Amino acid sequence: KGERSKTSSKCVRFESERLLLNMSDLFAEYENNFLDNLDEARRHLNEHQAASGNEAKKKALDKATEKMEDAEQNLQSIKDEATRKPQFREKSRTLTNQFQQMRTDVARAKTAAMNAANKAALLEGGTGAVNENNANSLADRDKVLKAKEKLKSNAPVIDDMNRMLHDAEDVADDIMVNLEDQRGALERILDRLRDVNGNLDTARRTIRSMRFKMIQHRVMLLGIAGVLIFIILMVLFLRFFW
């Protein structure tokens, strides 16, 4: 029985190590895909900054946005794995910081591209309509410039919101990890209770068997005593009355 218990423990330990290795490989795959998409997004963003034509800039920025969406999906898978396995939590935070920084850079590039497009459209429209309505053109240009200044002033607020969101995600990850640990503790307690219940069932069956054997022994003893009494009576009868 001891040998079987040791063998079972080794099998459980081997299975746990195998599952942990598989999860490590899965996390590494998610991480590699995430870093590849992030590198592609950074490369397209650099192409956007280096491009001279509006069409080339827009195309590169669209590709960078697409790669960021793919990276976000990979990051979600990484967070899911980190929730199930605490040893991946620190790596998940590092990758999340990289994603947040890259997303901020892409957002700033989009804002700059939108401002440039609005300014170019305003200048082109104003040049064609100077003779018709110069006052309206100047008013529109002032509105665009004010909107641009307002957007620049709101950039720190957006960064703070992203930072707060990141902190909230970290807190949520910690809570999920704690809940996972508590669930594991409860599952271990339930396993122990099942073992105790099984032991109680075994003891109950043993006691029932012992009680049945005691009744059998009593019946046998009574039967033997009855036979002995009958034999004694027969001997006495034969001796004195036959």
Residue 79 has pLDDT above 50, yes or no: yes
What pLDDT sits at residue 141? 67
Nearest CA to 76 out of 98, 90, 96 is that of 96
The model's confidence at residue 223, banded by pLDDT at 50, 70 and 90, is very high
Contact 127, 112 (CB under 8 A): no
What pLDDT sits at residue 225? 93
Instruction: Report CA 72 to chain centroid distance, whole Å.
Output: 14
Digit-coded pLDDT (tens) for 98-139: 898 888 988 888 888 887 777 766 665 544 444 444 545 556
Per-residue tokens: 86? 């605490």
Q: For the ranges 82-91, 181-190, 191-200, 204-213, which has the lowest average pLDDT?
A: 82-91
Contact 27, 88 (CB under 8 A): yes
Residue type, 148: K
Residue type, 101: Q
The model's confidence at residue 224, banded by pLDDT at 50, 70 and 90, is very high
Which residues, other chains included, contact 105 with Cβ-Cβ below 8 Å and sequence gap of 6+?
A: 45
Question: Torsions phi, psi of 129, nearest 5?
Answer: -120, 15
CA 27-68-164 angle, 5° bins: 85
Residue 24 has pLDDT above 80, yes or no: no
State the Cα–Cα distance between residues 170 and 75, nearest whole angstrom. Answer: 13
